[in-house]
Structure 1
Amino acid sequence: MGRQKRTLGLGLSLLLSCAFLSSSHSAAVEDVRTGGTALCGVPSMGRIIGGMNAQRGQWPWQVNLNFDGHHVCGATLIAPQWLVTAAHCFPPVNPIDRYEVTLGAFQLKNPSDDLVEKLIQEVLKHPEYTDDEGSKGDIALVKLKEPVSYTRTIRPICLPASTVDFPRGMKCTVTGWGNILTSTSLPSPMTLQQLEVPIIGLDTCKCLYSKDPDPEDPHVLHNDMMCAGFAEGKKDACQGDSGGPLSCRIGDAWLLAGVVSWGDACGAANRPGVYIRTAAYADWIKEKVPEVALSNVVASMEPVSETDLFNTTDEECSVAPGLLSAFWILLASLFVAYIFGTV
Structure 2
Amino acid sequence: MQLTVALFSSQKYEHASFDACLNNQTRIKLTRFEQSLDAKSAILSQGFDAVCVFVNDIVDKTVIEQLAQFGVKCILLRCAGFNNVDLAAANAHNIKVCRVPAYSPEAVAEHCVALMLTLNRKTHKAYNRIREDNFDLNGLLGFNLFKKTIGIIGCGKIGLALVNILNGFDANVLVCDPYAVPGNYTICDLDTLLSQSDVISLHCPLTEQTHHMINEHAFAKMKQGVMLINTSRGALVDSKACIGALKTKKLGYLGLDVYEQESELFFKDRSDEIMQDDVFSRLVSFPNVLVTGHQGFFTKEALSEIAQITVNNALEFANNQPLSNEVK
Bucket of the pairwise TM-score, normalised by the shorter protein: under 0.3
The two structures have a TM-score, normalised by structure 2, of 0.24
Relative contact order higher in (CA < 8 Å, ≥ 6 apart): 1
TM, length-normalised to structure 1: 0.23
| Higher Rg | 2
